[in-house]
Structure 1
């Protein structure tokens, strides 16, 4: 019995030794990977947005972001679609008038605070409110947003959520008794958390009258085109889809799609988040006139991979305006930031060679949807498994792309096993040292110290 107990304790001790380093170091890196997605700026600057003309004859659509930020493509993709349609006054709005951080370190200066928008519309509600995924879903910090959404809904606003933004609507009680959808990684959890909602899978959006919900990330484009159809007709929506380069427009109905589920290859994201300690830092150059989708493509593709980090930089510290008038504030210049690569998104910036003095990588030098070039760069600089995970997370069809590269991040994958071996070697060393320093005991043996 004593022998069995001793063997059991020894096995347990060596198991703990093998797991200690991978779990400790991996846990630290994992936590930092998610925290860095919304790292707020610390310089205290608060630039003002550039005001755009308001046409009272057009319906007004707004994309709401929380004080803690929002997912970048959930925010910018519907914004560009609605702006490209020409059918709306389109703005961004937040509880407070200060910069908010979108995923990947892109600082958006909202067009209006809730109070400012109220004054612009003379207390009327906007016609459309788009709700992206917020990082603080379920936290008290979302209350200004959920309270405001309930108020707009009571006034007859058409609400549209993108990705896990449906969780924001559900937490506000606005989806009870309704059909809705969400990102495939969250919908099962929402099913448990919000049982009063009829969660629908295998579709890019669900139109339930005065609330439209969409599935993951780029499904927000389909939802925005549906909104455009309802306000301005199918032909206007078709032209908007062509303008933004979206080849998957389905007039009048949502396109069915296979419901994604977690697969064995998706473990790559665990290795990327926990054991890729040498993630390259990409400086993303902000240039005036850039399309909102070109920005979203860079920050969300690299960001969703969890294999690369990004930060927004500018040729100087001056805020820039995107094609449809949004204001973004860079975090310094390439010279002031320690970046491994300088990425320059935007076809216009590439045509103008906007950053030739910095040895940049121009991404959008050819035709295609803005996410195509970024996914192709990602597969060249990481691996196929990471890139396929990213595309599935974005819910972006990639059948038209040749995404071939290194199959798997083997170096990163071997790191936890190397740490486990190191832990075992340390444990063996400690055990051997302890045994060498312990007096011999047992029948027929004489202690070294009592001869």
Structure 2
């Protein structure tokens, strides 16, 4: 019996030794992988946004972002669609007038805070409110947004959530008794968390009257085109789809789609989050006139991969204004990062980053195509196919037209937990051998040795 207990304890000890390093280091890297996506700036810089002209003859659409930020494509993709349609006054709004951080460290200066929006509209509700996914869903910090959303709906606004922005609406009780959809990764959890909602799968958006909800990330483009249809007609929506390069527009109804689910290859995200502790840092050069979708393509594609980190830089560190009037604030100027990437077709045409030729700037949008195409192709070249396919499915973006062929799997990263486990075992064997040696050489540990002080 003593022998069985001894063997069991020995096996248990070596199992713990094998798991200790990969679990400990993996947990630290995992936590950092998600924390770094919305790291707030600490320099106190808060430039005012550029003032926009307001046309009282047009309906007003606003994209609301929380004080803790928002998913970048959830906010910027519908913004560009609605702005490109020409049918709306379009603004970004937030509870407070200060920069907020979107995915990957892109700092946006909202056009208006809630009080300024009330003054602009003479206390009337905006016609459309777009609600992106917020990183602090379920936390008390979302309360200013959820309380404001309740008031807008009661005053006649059409609410449109993007991706897990439906969780924001559901947490406010606004989806109870309604049909809604969400990102495929979270919709199962929402089933349990918000059972009063009829969660619909296999569609890019659900129209429930004064609330429209969309599926994951780039489904927000379909939702915004649908909202444009409702306010300005199919022809205006079609032209907006052409203007932003979206070829999947389905007039009148949501196009059916295959509901994504977890696959065996998706384990790659676990390796990227837990064991890719040397993620490359990309400096993303912000330039005036860049399209909002071009920015979203860079920060969200690399960000959703969880294999790359990004930081926003500028030519001289000054704020820039995007194609449709948003103000973004870089966090410095280019330094010898791992890579310098330059989004934007206009930036590529003018070779705006050639002054940083020593950093070998990569012009991502030098060729034609939807802005996300070039970034996904860059991602597969610099990481691997499994990571890129995971990223595209997370974005809810069809990639059949792209050649996403690279290294099949991040083998080096995948071997790291095994190497850590081996190190743990070697350490355990070393400690065991040292313990045995001490016992053999200790007077109290030697068997058969009689204490000369005893008879």
TM-score, normalised to structure 2, is 0.97
Q: In the aligned structure 2, how far is the partner of 1:145 from the partner of 1:450?
A: 82
Q: What residue number does 1:38 align with?
A: 38
Q: Tell me the equivalent position of 1:183.
A: 183
Residues 57-136 of structure 1: pairs in structure 2 closer than 5 A: 57-136=57-136
1:14-413 superposed matches below 5 A:
14-335=14-335, 338-358=336-356, 359-413=360-414
1:61·1:129 contact (CA, 8 Å) conserved in 2? yes
Work out the CA distance in 2 between the residues paired with 1:261 and 1:445: 62
Deviation at 1:278, TM superposition (A): 1.2
Q: How far 1:447 moved relative to its partner?
A: 3.1
> CA separation in 2, counterparts of 1:100 and 1:35?
15
Equivalent residue in structure 1 for 2:448, among 440, 443, 446: 446
Shift of 1:305: 0.2
8 A contact 1:439–1:448 mirrored in 2: no
| Distance in 2, Cα, partners of 1:403 & 1:394 | 15
Contact 1:182/1:216 (<8 A) preserved: yes
Task: Quote the residue 1:6 is aligned against.
Answer: 6
Describe the SS at the equivalent of 2:108. Answer: strand
> In 1, Cα distance between the equivalents of 2:252 and 2:37?
35
Q: Deviations over 1:18-63 (max 9, x none)?
A: 0000000000000000000000111001100001100000000000
Task: Please state how far the C-alpha of 1:436 moved relative to its aligned partner.
Answer: 1.0
Q: Is the Cα–Cα contact under 8 Å of residues 439 and 449 in structure 1 kept in the other structure?
A: no
| Mapped partners of 2:383, 2:449: distance in 1 | 60
| Whole-angstrom distance in 2 between the partners of 1:448 and 1:412 | 56
Q: 1:9 to 1:450 in 2, by over 3 A?
A: farther
1-structure distance, mates of 2:175, 2:43: 39
Secondary structure of the corresponding residue to residue 227 of structure 1: helix
Q: CA deviation at 1:95?
A: 0.1
- In the alignment, the residues of structure 2 paired with residue 450 and residue 263 of structure 1 have an alpha-carbon distance, to the nearest angstrom, of 70
| Deviation (angstroms), 1:448 | 8.6
Measure, in 1, the Cα distance between the counterparts of 2:349 and 2:440.
79
CA contact (8 A) 1:343 1:360 kept: yes
Corresponding residue SS for 1:334: coil
Q: Work out whether residues 285 and 315 of structure 1, in 8 Å CA contact, stay in contact via their aligned partners in 2.
A: yes
**Count of aligned pairs between the two proteins:** 448
Cα offset, 1:439, TM superposition:
4.1
**Partner secondary structure for residue 438 of structure 1:** helix
Counterpart Cα distance in 1 of 2:243 and 2:402? 20
CA contact (8 A) 1:73 1:296 kept: yes
Give, in whole Å, the separation in 2 of the partners of 1:357 and 1:123. Answer: 48
1:186-211 Cα offsets, whole Å, 9 max, x none, are 00000000000000001000001000
Distance (Å, rounded) in 2 between the aligned partners of 1:182 and 1:138: 16
Aligned-pair RMSD on alpha carbons?
Answer: 1.4
CA distance in 1: counterparts of 2:236 and 2:296, whole angstroms: 23
Preserved contact between residue 439 and residue 447 of structure 1 (Cα < 8 Å): no
The runs of 5 or more residues in structure 2 that have no matched partner are none
- Answer whether contact 1:131 1:165 (CA < 8 A) is retained: yes
Q: Secondary structure of the equivalent of 2:10?
A: helix
TM-score, length basis structure 1: 0.98
Q: Is the alpha carbon distance of 1:450 and 1:88 closer, same or farther for their aligned partners in structure 2, counting shifts above 3 Å?
A: farther
Superposed CA deviations along residues 53-92 of structure 1, whole A, max 9, x for unmatched, are 0000000000000000000000000000000000000000
Q: Distance in 2 between matches of 1:64 and 1:366?
A: 32
What is the alpha-carbon distance in structure 2 between the residues aligned to residue 39 and residue 449 of structure 1? 66
Shift of 1:450: 6.3
